[in-house]
Chains A and B, each alone.
Chain A
Amino acid sequence: WLKISRYMAPFILPLTRITRRCIRALKAVQTEHVAAQVYTRRCFSAPVPRVTSHYTIYPRDKDPRWEGVDMERFADEADVVIVGGGPAGLSAAIRLKQLANQHEKELRVCVVEKASQIGAHTLSGACLEPTALNELFPDWKERGAPLNTQVTEDKFAILTEKYRIPVPILPGLPMNNHGNYIVRLGHFVRWLGEQAEELGVELYPGYAAAEVLFHEDGSVKGIATNDVGIAKDGSPKDVFERGMELHAKVTLFGEGCHGHLAKQLYKHFNLREGCEPQTYAIGLKELWLIDEKKWRPGRVEHSVGWPLNRNTYGGSFLYHLNEGEPLVALGFVVGLDYTNPYLSPFREFQRWKHHPSIAPTLEGGSRIAYGARALNEGGFQSVPKLTFPGGTLIGCSPGFMNVPKIKGTHTAMKSGMLAAEAIFSKLTDESLQSETTGIYVPEYEQSLKNSWVWKELHAVRNIRPSFHNYFGLYGGMLYTGIFYWILRGKEPWTLKHCGMDSAQLKPAKECTPIEYPKPDGKISFDLLSSVALSGTNHEHDQPPHLTLKDDGVPVAQNLAIYDGPEQRFCPAGVYEFVPLESGEGMRLQINAQNCVHCKTCDIKDPSQNINWVVPEGSGGPAYNGM
Chain B
Amino acid sequence: MAARVLVGVKRVIDYAVKIRVKPDNTGVVTDGVKHSMNPFCEIAVEEAVRLKEKKLVKEVVAVSCGPQQVQETIRTALAMGADRGIHVEVSGKDYDSLGPLQVSKILAALAKKEEASLIILGKQAIDDDCNQTGQMTAALLDWPQGTFASEVAVEGDKLKVIREVDGGLETIKINLPAVVTADLRLNTPRYATLPNIMKAKKKKITNVKPGDLGVDLTSRLEVLRVDEPPQRQAGVKVETVEDLVGKLKEAGRI
Partner-B contacts on A (CB < 8 A):
74, 76, 112, 116-117, 119-120, 186-187, 190, 204, 207, 225, 228-229, 238-239, 241, 243-244, 289, 325, 368, 532-533, 535-537, 622, 624-625
Contacts and interface: CB of A to CB of B under 8 A. Distances in A.
Nearest to B72: A117
A208 B20 CA distance: 29
A241 B191 contact: yes
Q: Which 4 pairs of residues, A with B, have the shortest CB-CB distance?
A: A537-B16, A622-B34, A535-B17, A624-B32
Given A76-B198, A120-B34, A622 B14 contact: yes
Contacts of A238: 188
Given A190-B32, A225-B194, A535-B34, A239 B16 contact: no
B16 A536 contact: yes
Interface majority SS (helix, strand, loop, mixed), chain A: mixed
**Considering residues B33, B189, B191, B198, which has the most beta carbons from chain A within 10 angstroms of its beta carbon?**
B191
Contacts of B20: 368
B194 A243 contact: yes
B204 to A, nearest CB: 19
B184 to A, nearest CB: 15
Given A116-B36, A624-B34, A532 B18 contact: yes
Contacts of A116: 14, 34, 36
Contacts of A186: 32
B235 interface: no
Given A238-B188, A532-B18, A535-B14, A76 B36 contact: no
B193 A533 contact: no
18 contacts: A76-B198, A116-B34, A116-B36, A119-B32, A120-B34, A239-B188, A239-B190, A241-B190, A243-B193, A243-B194, A289-B23, A325-B23, A368-B20, A535-B17, A537-B15, A537-B16, A622-B16, A624-B33
A535 B18 CA distance: 6
A116 B33 CA distance: 11
B23 A241 contact: no
Interface string B24-44: 000000011110100000000
Given A76-B195, A204-B194, A239-B189, 5 more contacts: A187-B32, A239-B190, A241-B191, A244-B195, A325-B23
Contacts of B190: 239, 241
Contacts, number: 58
A190 B194 CA distance: 21
Contacts of A117: 34
Given A204-B194, A207-B194, A289-B23, A535 B16 contact: yes
A547 B194 CA distance: 25
A374 to B, nearest CB: 22
Contacts of A243: 193-194
A239 B196 CA distance: 14
Contacts of B141: none
A228 B191 contact: yes
Contacts of A624: 31-34
B197 interface: yes
A102 to B, nearest CB: 25
B193 A228 contact: yes
A229 B32 contact: no
A112 B193 CA distance: 13
Contacts of A112: 194
B33 to A, nearest CB: 5
Interface in B198-215: 198
A483 B2 CA distance: 79
Contacts of A325: 23
Contacts of A536: 16
Given A76-B195, A207-B194, A244-B193, A625 B32 contact: yes
A121 to B, nearest CB: 11
A74 B195 contact: yes
Given A190-B32, A624-B32, A624-B34, A241 B17 contact: no
A187 B193 CA distance: 26
Contacts of B14: 116, 535, 537, 622
Nearest to B197: A204
Contacts of A241: 190-191, 193
Contacts of B18: 532-533, 535
B191 A229 contact: yes
Interface in B46-66: none
A366 to B, nearest CB: 9
Nearest to B76: A206
A207 B36 CA distance: 15
B194 to A, nearest CB: 4
Contacts of B33: 622, 624
A483 to B, nearest CB: 42
B157 to A, nearest CB: 30
Contacts of B16: 535-537, 622
A207 B197 CA distance: 10
Contacts of B32: 119, 186-187, 190, 624-625
Contacts of B188: 238-239
B23 to A, nearest CB: 7
A116 B192 CA distance: 12
B99 to A, nearest CB: 25
A116 B36 CA distance: 9
A584 to B, nearest CB: 33
A368 to B, nearest CB: 6
A285 B198 CA distance: 36
Contacts of A120: 34
B45 to A, nearest CB: 14
A622 B194 CA distance: 20
A222 to B, nearest CB: 13
A193 to B, nearest CB: 12
B17 A244 contact: no
B42 to A, nearest CB: 12
B26 to A, nearest CB: 14
A207 B79 CA distance: 14
A435 to B, nearest CB: 31
B251 to A, nearest CB: 25
A204 B31 CA distance: 21
B81 to A, nearest CB: 13
Contacts of A532: 18
Contacts of B194: 112, 204, 207, 225, 243-244
Contacts of A225: 194
A58 B20 CA distance: 42
A289 B20 CA distance: 12
A228 B79 CA distance: 15
Nearest to B14: A622
A243 B23 CA distance: 43
Interface string B85-120: 000000000000000000000000000000000000
A178 B22 CA distance: 33
A532 B191 CA distance: 25
Nearest to B189: A239
A226 B188 CA distance: 20
Nearest to B198: A76
B91 to A, nearest CB: 18
A348 B108 CA distance: 58
A228 B191 CA distance: 7
Nearest to B193: A241
Nearest to B20: A368
Nearest to A535: B17
A43 B253 CA distance: 60
A238 B190 CA distance: 9
